[in-house]
Chains A and B, each alone.
Chain A
Amino acid sequence: MATEKNEKNAVFLYAAALLIFLLMVMAVYHAVRPGVGRLTADFFYPYLRVSRLAVNAISDRTLLSFSRAELAAKLEQQQKINTSLALQAAAAAELFRENQVLRRYLGIKAPKKWSYITAEVMLRDPLLWLEHFTIDRGRMDGVEQGDAVLDISEDGLPILIGVVGSCGRHNSEVMTVYNPDFCFSAGIGPERMTGFINAGGRQGSDGRIPVGYLASAGTPAAGSAVFTTGFEQRIPGGIKIGELDRLEEVNPLFYSAGRSSGLIRPAFNPNRLRFVIIARRERPTEQP
């Protein structure tokens, strides 16, 4: 009888010790992660790179499984897109020149300049698939914490994926717009009604993210495009974030808060990420 009781006590003690040990592991991890996390990723960079190389090899094999006719059709389609983009770029360059001339006449300062770096997605987290991922560019490539990460949509326009959350020497973690910790301003509709993404106390669901603190006076229609405002130092303005899915229905007779919230469907497709673009704000060069 006594032996049985001792065995039960031993099991209980072992379980309690294991629980305390796990809590200690979590606490230590939480404490060391900000400093050691990226360092570990740098140390294991070649190891992590191997997994990406394997994925790319499989992806390339899948591409080669297409027939020659299909590949030729895709090439032709891509050439058409390239031609269209080249024309758009030429038109944009002309507008840029005109803009510079007008600014000079009016004495307006030149806008912020941005430079762009391409990066490859190195590691995805299957548990937090939408919230974050790791790219193969770091401080050595000029990436800094807070830099905007962009993708290009099928029509050739840039769309916002997120920002660089933490930076190592050779890799960085990207927080996507789905990450609840990433709050930033957004302009909705043609009037660019300002709201704040991932703010306002509303929860996102089914691939939609919350937008809060919208002025309840204006009511942009569902489907209105949502853009970045440029208020943030490291996120360029006018980049598409997504489309307004729906606004909170507010009865003005019973609601006087003066603000409302809604849900946004982000434009970037998290399942098709392979290459991303990092937008870096160029530092002003010192005048001699």
Chain B
Amino acid sequence: MKTFFIFTILPAVLLADLLVGNFGFSFSLTALTLIYFSGSMGLKHTLPAAVAAGMFLDMCCARQEAFSAATLLAATAAGMYFIPRKEFRGSLIRSLPAGAAAEGVFVFANAVAVTCIYGKTGYPSGLAAHLATAMLFGMLCFPGIAVLFDALAALLNLPRYMASDPEDLLVRAETTPAIPVETASGRRRRR
């Protein structure tokens, strides 16, 4: 069901990315969605989705080299860095730096890839402003994405990002309960 959910959501998000790309914006809703998937359903499901999404984007845009898979993975890793941190209380608060970091890394990694592969010099000249805009976009968009997809996941009784426990994030791929309950020790656990 998780795979079905991921591969149903992902084409819609990729379409939105292509739509935004037609206006010249290189922000990635896909990167934010992948952080959501990794935060709610674990890395096991997210990694293949990231590679597939990256290759699909490269194919659609007729790029000579496939670098989007790598940049999407880098963005997901950057976002994932903030999700398990205890300094940020609450899933929504955690999602602010996660979204900003993911978009920032995505834009920066793309700039590096485009410069290295194509020898293009124009893109990095406005990189600082683009980076700042992308990070702001990620910070504002990721909480919205999390709320929206959580509502969909709740309908399908799938694990939700908001109800996730940061500590067991990386080992939750196999059996993730959907509804958080109080355990005997008083700690919030998922059933």
Are A40 and B26 neighbours in the complex by a CB distance under 8 Å?
Answer: no
Question: Does chain A have a CB within 8 A of B96?
Answer: no
Q: Which of B22, B24, B65 has the most CB of A within 10 A?
A: B22
Q: With an 8 A cutoff between CB atoms, is B21 at the interface?
A: yes
A33-B64 in contact (CB<8A): yes
Q: Are B59 and A41 touching (Cβ within 8 A)? A: yes
Question: A22-B70, A25-B55 known; A130 and B60 CB under 8 Å?
Answer: no
Is B69 at the interface (CB under 8 A from chain A)? yes
Across the interface, which residues of B come within 8 angstroms of A54, CB to CB?
A: 19
Q: Does A246 contact B (CB under 8 A)?
A: no
In the complex, chain A residues 25-59 whose Cβ is within 8 Å of any chain B Cβ: 25-26, 29-30, 33, 36-38, 40-41, 44, 47-48, 50-52, 54-55
For chain A residues 124-173, which have a beta carbon within 8 Å of chain B? 124-132, 134, 165-166, 173
B26 touching A126 by the CB < 8 A rule? yes
| Chain A interface category by residue count | 35 or more
Complex CA distance for A180 and B119, rounded to whole angstroms: 9
Q: Mark B2-15, 1 if CB is under 8 A from A, else 0.
A: 00000000010001
Main DSSP-derived SS at the B contact region: helix
The yes or no answer to B44 lying at the interface (CB within 8 A) is no
Give the tally of cross-chain contacts (CB within 8 A). 99
Q: How far is the CA of A51 from the CA of B21 in the complex (A)?
A: 10
Q: What is the total number of residues of chain B having a CB less than 8 Å from a CB of chain A?
A: 36
Which of A40, A125, A204 sits near B63, CB closer than 8 Å? A125
A237 within 8 A of B: no
Q: Does A118 lie at the interface of the complex (its beta carbon under 8 Å from any beta carbon of B)? A: no
Asked if B122 contacts A207 (CB within 8 A), the reply is: yes
A193 at the interface (CB under 8 A from B): no
Question: Given A44-B60, A207-B122 in contact, is the A30-B26 Cβ separation under 8 Å?
Answer: no
Q: Which partner residue on chain A sits nearest B111 by CB separation? A: A127
The answer on a CB contact under 8 Å between A127 and B22 is no
Q: Name A165's closest neighbour in chain B (CB-CB).
A: B62
Write the nearest CB–CB distance from B175 to chain A, whole angstroms: 21
Inside 8 A of B62's CB, which chain A residues have their CB?
37-38, 41, 125, 132, 134, 165-166, 173
Mind listing 16 A-B residue pairs with CB under 8 Å?
A26-B66, A26-B70, A29-B59, A29-B66, A30-B65, A33-B64, A40-B60, A50-B15, A55-B23, A123-B21, A124-B22, A125-B63, A128-B61, A131-B118, A173-B62, A180-B119
- Tell me the A residues contacting B by CB distance below 8 Å: 18, 21-22, 25-26, 29-30, 33, 36-38, 40-41, 44, 47-48, 50-52, 54-55, 123-132, 134, 165-166, 173, 180, 203-207, 271
Q: Return the 9 tightest CB-CB contacts between A and B, nearest first.
A: A29-B66, A126-B26, A125-B61, A126-B21, A51-B19, A173-B62, A51-B18, A40-B59, A55-B22
